[in-house]
Amino acid sequence: MRSDTIKQGLERTPHRALLKGTGVPDSAFEKPFIGVATSFTDLIPGHSGMRDLERFIEKGVHSGGGYSFFFGIPGVCDGIAMGHKGMHYSLPTRELIADMVESVAEAHRLDGLVLLTNCDKITPGMLMAAARLNIPCIIVTAGPMMSGRSLSGRKYSFVTDTFEAMARYKAGVIDDKELKICEDNACPGMGSCQGLFTANTMAILTETMGMSLPRCGTALAVSALKRRIAFASGEKIVELVKNDVKPRDIMTRAAFENAIRVDLALGGSSNTVLHLLAIAREAGVDLPLETFDILAKDTPQLASMNPAGEYFMEDLDVAGGVSGVLKQLGDKIKDAPTLFGLTTHQLAESIANVDEEVIRPLSNPIKKEGGIAILTGNLAPKGAVVKQSGVSAAMMLFEGTARCFDAEEKAMAAIMEGKITSGDVVVIRYEGPKGGPGMREMLAPTAAIMGMGLGDSVALVTDGRFSGGTRGPCIGHISPEAAEGGPIALVEEGDRILLDIPNRRLELLVDDATLAARRAAWKAPEAKIRTGWLARYAKLVTSAHTGAVTTAD
């Protein structure tokens, strides 16, 4: 065992003494040492219930014949970090999380890991660490929140009933009382936000890739089922250690393609593009950005999920969950191994019935193409991402007038003050991985556009990114970003921009000579943040089209 390095032989007497100082008994030195990386925090509803799941993981590890050690991993709530300086830190924490898990597992020579996670950047960070370390690992996602309910029986969702409610209130559509009802009911308890936002999309894709147990991706945070999954995951990690089943045995090219197809079929978060690219890099899997678009054209959207659609995570879970989606996708899913033994085809065959109101068959899709599209053109030579499942038919082809803002706050003020009108294209730049730094999510301005009734007449383009809760004609991840001198830095107020999603084009309608003159005059702005670790991050981070990873290259 890896852990023999710190527990066997005369030379390890000091090591054993220190371990015994934590309470480890002699009998444990013959057992696998299992690390449980937990992102518990009181700050995030998606993580506040993890103390309970930790108990069941611990019981499972010891029942399976291992000895568990807990260590903490930080978590940032994107919803709380939204719209202020805090959002600069969200995406960069993904790299910190991977580095921290690697550091503890390597320094203490742990034999295997249970990675307890839930929210947006924590789950991909954990998966990056698993792929990088390539020691036996299993993921436990803590589960989605129940939908909120009012006395009238209406269902509430965090994003559409808080962020968009702000704009509806500003526009006079709702009053103080209704705004307060939204605030009080949108988040009824523990769990990740109820719709198919980034946290839940990543939980589903983790299960799809075979890195968590069946139904882990959809079982509610408050359910006894989630406790049983936590216990079974604790038992399973000991078995994985004994059988030497490693993450790269599971996270193959086929597994990533299956994850992309499930994402497309459900209309999941556009952030998964960044995360899957980053995880694949750690796993040594070649996964070019264009893979998403190739598969999107051959993968229909089968479910209408909140925020752009009708159903919540609780509906998807009882409709068949991930296994139900695999069953409906049929031969489009490649047969791949999972860490719990069944292949993806066997898992799909194990489902007797699927609720086809929630997860439609291939013969009756919501849309003919999957939920994410990759755009290119002279405004995004290396690519841009749009969640086309959230775009209305009226905005799939759109030409508008550029309204340029060099920071999210400036754009948000203009939207809320009524300065953005029908026919505009809001351009928010210098918010990319380097320029932000940290590639902030733009949920506040996109929600404001939707809430003020401009979703069918105004588009937004940015080198930043969007929340999984974003809907509407919002194009992000524009590469190269403005801070690197990408074409988005050259857009001027009043320019015309063409959005053509069916043909995957994003064009700045300005002639080459004019753009060349603008480029010659362009100067890189001063960094927004020049101290602390974000200053170092900005120097190391790569472009969005490569997953916005940090590298010393």
For 279-313, how does the pLDDT look when each residue is reduced to its tens digit (9 = 90+)?
999 999 999 999 999 999 999 999 999 888 899 99
List the one residue out of 228, 203, 191, 158 whose CA is nearest residue 48: 191
pLDDT at 201 over 70: yes
What one-character DSSP code corresponds to residue 307?
T
- Label residue 553 by pLDDT band (50, 70, 90): low
Q: Stretch 87-112: mean pLDDT, rounded? A: 97
For 304-346, how does the pLDDT look when each residue is reduced to its tens digit (9 = 90+)?
998 888 999 999 999 999 999 999 999 999 999 999 999 999 9
Q: Stretch 496-521: mean pLDDT, rounded? A: 97
- Label residue 25 by pLDDT band (50, 70, 90): very high
Strand 33-38 to strand 67-72: parallel, antiparallel, or no bridges (unpaired)? Answer: parallel
Q: Stretch 498-525: mean pLDDT, rounded? A: 96
Token duo for residue 247:
């993450």
Q: Is 317 marked as binding a ligand?
A: no
pLDDT at 433 over 80: yes
Q: Is 42 marked as binding a ligand?
A: no
Question: Tell me, what's the pLDDT at 207?
Answer: 98
**CATH class for the region spanning 31-146+193-349:** alpha beta
pLDDT at 226 over 80: yes
pLDDT at 83 over 90: no
In the residue annotation, 363 being an active-site residue is answered as no
List the one residue out of 495, 373, 375 whose CA is nearest residue 424: 495
pLDDT at 17 over 80: yes
Note whether 108 and 35 are within 8 A (CB).
yes
Mean pLDDT of the chain: 94
Token duo for residue 268:
């999941």
- Where does 372-546 sit in CATH, by number? 3.50.30.80
Question: Tell me, what's the pLDDT at 96?
Answer: 97
Question: Tell me, what's the pLDDT at 18?
Answer: 96
For 371-384, how does the pLDDT look when each residue is reduced to its tens digit (9 = 90+)?
999 999 999 999 99
Q: Stretch 179-198: mean pLDDT, rounded? A: 90
Peptide bond into 288 cis (omega under 30): no
- Residue 20: CB partners within 8 Å, gap ≥ 6? none
Token duo for residue 50:
């993890």
Distances (CA, A) of 200 to 28, 196, 300, 500: 36, 6, 20, 29
Q: Stretch 114-136: mean pLDDT, rounded? A: 97
Distances (CA, A) of 218 to 57, 163, 322, 465: 18, 24, 8, 25
Q: Stretch 34-46: mean pLDDT, rounded? A: 97
- Label residue 422 by pLDDT band (50, 70, 90): very high
For 351-360, how does the pLDDT look when each residue is reduced to its tens digit (9 = 90+)?
999 999 999 9
Peptide bond into 437 cis (omega under 30): yes
List the one residue out of 431, 445, 461, 443 whose CA is nearest residue 528: 431
Q: Is 106 marked as binding a ligand?
A: no
Give CA–CA dist 157/167, Å, rounded: 16
List the one residue out of 316, 392, 312, 426 whose CA is nearest residue 360: 316
Note whether 405 and 420 are within 8 A (CB).
no
Would you list the DSSP string of 186-238? S--SSSB-SSS-HHHHHHHHHHHTTSS-TTTTTS-TTSHHHHHHHHHHHHHHH
Q: Which residue among 233, 467, 479, 543 is the active-site one?
A: 467
Q: The sheet that has 137-141: what strands, in order across it?
A: 67-72, 33-38, 112-117, 137-141
Q: Stretch 474-484: mean pLDDT, rounded? A: 96
Peptide bond into 307 cis (omega under 30): yes
pLDDT at 183 over 90: no
pLDDT at 244 over 70: yes
For 42-67, how does the pLDDT look when each residue is reduced to its tens digit (9 = 90+)?
999 999 999 999 999 999 999 999 99
Domains of the chain, residue spans = 31-146+193-349, 372-546
Q: Is 120 marked as binding a ligand?
A: yes
Note whether 64 and 234 are within 8 A (CB).
yes
Residue 436's region, left for phi above 0, alpha for psi from -120 to 50, else beta, is alpha
Give CA–CA dist 56/50, Å, rounded: 10
Return the residue matching tokens 């700045």.
508
Question: Tell me, what's the pLDDT at 169?
Answer: 86
Q: Stretch 392-403: mean pLDDT, rounded? A: 96
Coil/strand/helix, residue 79: helix
For 129-167, how does the pLDDT look when each residue is reduced to its tens digit (9 = 90+)?
999 999 999 999 999 999 888 777 788 788 777 877 877
For 376-440, give the secondary structure using H, E and C: EECCEEEEEEEEHHHCCHHHCEEEEEEEEECCHHHHHHHHHCCCCCCCEEEEECCCCCCCCCCCC
